[in-house]
């Protein structure tokens, strides 16, 4: 053996063949050191980037994840760390807001419309109206009617009937759109509307509407009928308009000819959501939807048009009806305002609304939501209201379709109960999905927004605010009917629940801050 071969053998290297390169040994210790050293640039960079314009609780959660699991944490942050839509979408939202603001100024300056768009406002409501207008540009308007619909199938029947009466256009936007035995009459009505020359435009969330039976058939029918439709927030990772994949359009609305609108919590799907487990156990979703007439309909339509153009919707050839054309039909008395919210805005519009309303409550707050995961400001408002003697009730669901949210929500019950908040759970087999809040006897908030971090930060939402005792009175009837089917959570029993449940609730709560 020559000296070179002997040296290779003593060093532990393999003797290479004449045509092979030298294969160096793998040192896992060295790799670990390199990986460890590589974490420090990640952590240091995160300290500068993550906290920018982010809630402290969210920033802390992200930093903890990145410190504990640097490579996993940074990959997740790059994928879902930004809670806002793309710059292009936010610019489109600002443009829409400016157009709306300009039209509001013109309407208020018009003597024939001033009493509608510049009505006398009780001092009690001014702070909320001004806040909502500053956040979204949407004004308050008078002469509206608000009808509440709490029967699932009857609500879809009412929407179907409205489509059959359309003469100019139908605008449809749902988080979930599916074809099944319950929704087929509605789809049939859309097809009939196109046949008689009505313009039908439709938006449905790209992700939420997947996974349901007859989806391909639905798409074929929409195309064959000539319905102008688009996916909302489609996931296109290689496009030039990348958005965080879990930012979703959670809005539910229907506008007919600018004269009638529906909005609320209901998705266009069977009440069982076509889930075998729900059908087997008799589970059905419980919803509340508003049927609106009056100038408030033009605000709902403005929300749709903003989303339509943001998704590349085609130019509308036939003009929208003007306020002067619609004025003869505006015969209601309710003072109303629409508040759109979501990642297209720079602020959490709906969170600011809920927090300000609860802080201002004098006698009673009734919160109905299936998902309750508040941030610190909202939790403080609720607890403070209860502590100062306001009657606060939280109505949620005994069962849920969201495992993590369900357990995160339960982690807040102890603090709420200790503050004197009454917690009621709608009994199974019903699954509460309605989303509304009533403040004292004169403010009602109804829409698509839950009181959780997803609705505040990640979802596009639409909320109706009615400053009207009559609307609140109708909503009280719905609340009371729900209460007759609900169980109360007692503080003592809650504190004595099994330890594993407490642990699971606490762990689920940690995920709520990763927004």
DSSP letter for each residue of 358-378: HHH-SSEEEEE-S-EE--HHH
Of the candidates 148, 137, 165, the residue with the CA atom closest to the CA atom of residue 303: 137
Does 102 reside within a domain? Answer: no
- 389, two tokens: 């003697």
Give the end of a domain, one of 341, 364, 388.
Answer: 341
Residues 326, 180 share a domain: yes
Q: Which of 326, 341, 356 delimits the end of a domain?
A: 341
Q: What is the pLDDT of residue 33?
A: 64
* Same-domain status, 56 and 154: no
Produce one character per residue of 104-123: b if its CB has 16 or more CB atoms within 10 Å, e if not. beebeeeeebeebbbeeeee
Residue 510's SS3 state is: helix
Asked whether residue 117 is assigned to any structural domain, the reply reads no
User: Are 65 and 169 within one domain?
Assistant: no
Q: How far apart are CA 454 and CA 515, in angstroms?
A: 8
Note whether residue 150 is domain-resident: yes
> What's the pLDDT at 7?
42
- Total structural domains within the chain: 2
Q: What is the pLDDT of residue 11?
A: 43
Tell me whether residue 211 is in a domain. yes
Q: 514 in a domain, yes or no? A: no
Give the domain extent around 260.
143-341
Residue 176 CB partners (closer than 8 Å, separation 6+)? 204, 205, 208, 209, 212, 267, 268, 269, 273
The domain spanning residue 208 has which CATH number?
Answer: 3.30.870.10
Q: Are residues 330 and 237 in the same domain?
A: yes
In a domain? residue 448: no
> Based on the domain organization, do 156 and 73 belong to the same domain?
no
First-residue to last-residue Cα distance in the chain: 66
DSSP string, 9-40: HHHTPPPPPTTSPP-PPP-HHHHHHHHHHHHH
Q: Is residue 186 part of a domain?
A: yes
Q: What is the pLDDT of residue 69?
A: 73
Pair (227, 322) in one structural domain: yes
Which run of H or E residues covers position 146? strand 141-149
Within this chain, do residues 172 and 45 fall inside the same structural domain, yes or no? Answer: no
27, 61, 80 — which closes off a domain? 80
58 and 190 share one domain: no
Task: For residues 170 and 278, state if they share a domain.
Answer: yes
Spatial separation of the C-alpha atoms in residues 274 and 71, rounded to whole Å: 39
207 and 72 fall within a common domain: no
| 161-171: b (≥16 Cβ within 10 Å) or e | ebbbebeebbb
In 3D, which of 141, 89, 125, 136 has the Cα closest to residue 349?
136
Segments of the chain with pLDDT less than 50:
1, 3-22, 24, 515
């Amino acid at each position: 053996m020559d000296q070179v071969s002997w040296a290779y053998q003593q060093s532990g290297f393999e003797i290479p063949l004449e045509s092979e390169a030298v294969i160096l040994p793998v040192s896992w210790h060295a790799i670990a050191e390199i990986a460890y050293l590589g974490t420090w640039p990640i952590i240091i960079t995160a300290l500068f980037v993550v906290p920018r314009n982010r809630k402290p609780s969210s920033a802390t959660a992200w930093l903890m994840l990145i410190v504990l699991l640097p490579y996993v944490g940074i990959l997740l942050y790059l994928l879902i760390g930004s809670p806002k839509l793309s710059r292009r979408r936010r610019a489109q939202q600002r443009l829409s807001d400016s157009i709306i603001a300009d039209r509001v100024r013109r309407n208020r300056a018009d003597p024939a419309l001033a009493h509608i768009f510049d009505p006398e406002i009780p001092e009690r409501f001014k702070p909320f109206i001004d806040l909502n207008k500053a956040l979204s540009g949407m004004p308050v308007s008078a002469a509206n009617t608000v009808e509440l619909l709490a029967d699932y199938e009857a609500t879809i029947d009412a929407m179907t009937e409205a489509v059959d009466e359309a003469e100019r256009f139908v605008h449809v936007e749902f988080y979930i759109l599916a074809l099944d035995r319950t929704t087929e009459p509605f789809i049939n009505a859309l097809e009939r509307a196109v046949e008689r020359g009505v313009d039908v435009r439709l938006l449905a969330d790209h992700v939420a509407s997947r996974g349901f039976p007859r989806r391909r058939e639905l798409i074929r029918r929409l195309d064959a009928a000539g319905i102008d439709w688009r996916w909302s927030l489609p996931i296109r990772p290689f496009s030039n308009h990348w958005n965080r994949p879990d930012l979703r359009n959670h809005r539910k609305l229907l506008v007919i000819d600018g004269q009638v609108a529906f909005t609320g919590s209901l998705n266009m799907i069977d009440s069982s959501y076509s889930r075998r487990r729900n059908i087997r156990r008799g589970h059905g979703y419980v919803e509340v939807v508003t049927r609106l007439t009056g100038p408030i309909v033009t605000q709902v339509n403005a929300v749709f048009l903003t989303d339509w153009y943001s998704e590349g919707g085609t130019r509308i050839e036939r003009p929208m009806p003007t306020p002067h054309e619609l004025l003869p039909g505006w015969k209601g008395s309710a003072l109303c305002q629409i508040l759109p919210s979501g990642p297209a805005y720079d602020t959490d519009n709906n969170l600011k609304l809920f927090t300000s309303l609860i802080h201002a409550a004098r006698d009673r707050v009734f919160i109905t939501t299936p998902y309750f995961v508040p941030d610190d400001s909202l939790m403080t408002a609720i607890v403070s209201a209860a502590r100062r003697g306001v009657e606060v009730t939280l109505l949620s669901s005994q069962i849920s379709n969201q495992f993590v949210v369900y357990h995160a929500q339960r982690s807040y019950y102890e603090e709420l109960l200790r503050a004197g908040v009454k917690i009621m759970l709608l009994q199974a087999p019903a699954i509460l999905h309605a989303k509304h809040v009533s403040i004292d006897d004169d403010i009602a908030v109804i829409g698509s927004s839950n009181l959780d971090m997803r609705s505040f930060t990640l979802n596009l939402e639409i909320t109706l605010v009615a400053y009207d005792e009559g609307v609140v009175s109708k909503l009280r009837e719905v609340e009371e009917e729900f209460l007759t089917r609900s169980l109360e959570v007692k503080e003592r029993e809650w504190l004595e629940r099994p330890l594993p449940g407490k642990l699971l609730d606490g762990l689920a709560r940690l995920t709520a801050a990763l927004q």
